[in-house]
Amino acid sequence: MNKKKAIFLDRDGTINIDKGYLYKKEDFEFEIDAIKALKRLSDLGYTLIIVTNQSGIGRGYYTKTDLDILNNHMCKILLKEQIKIEKIYHCPHHPTKGIGKFKMECECRKPNPGMIVEGIKEFNIDKKNSYMVGDKISDVLAGISAGVNAILLGNKNEIRLEKEIKDKISIFENLNEFSMELYNKEKK
């Protein structure tokens, strides 16, 4: 079976506007040109997989059902544009602020690579030709650890990067800018 190329995507701050512990579908708003970018990436043949820290579940702010309702809402909008999100992995844990079974160190919470590693196995992903795209340093650290190309969105984050990390990632203003660059690279 041929390996697939994938884009692993953070959700909040990458696909949608990060409003902090977002769980109500009526509060959901896509980032500017995110739908256009996702369509471009999909049309290039990438499997789209979301990997998102959701410690709001572990902190008791909302439930997994709330998260599922919001994610289904987002996916329905994207499907109308012929964009399929193959799977959404989420981590409900937090090492210090989680409640009960959610208070733990885990392999899935970014910057750990657990969700990406699981996606690589489940969907037979070619790491060399795949990307982790996110707006936080924890996103790119997870991508680097998982062995995929790491993309950081938002130049404001660049100043906090150590040199050895800067050398391993690419930085773009937003998801649309990254998607255009990848499109131009692949269509040459």
> How many whole angstroms separate alpha carbon 90 and alpha carbon 64?
9
Let me know if 43 is a catalytic residue. no
- In terms of Cα–Cα distance, which of 132, 136, 181, 180 is closest to 154? 136
Question: Catalytic one among 10, 27, 33, 126?
Answer: 10
Question: Catalytic one among 12, 27, 135, 167?
Answer: 12
Let me know if 10 is a catalytic residue. yes
Active site residues: 10, 12
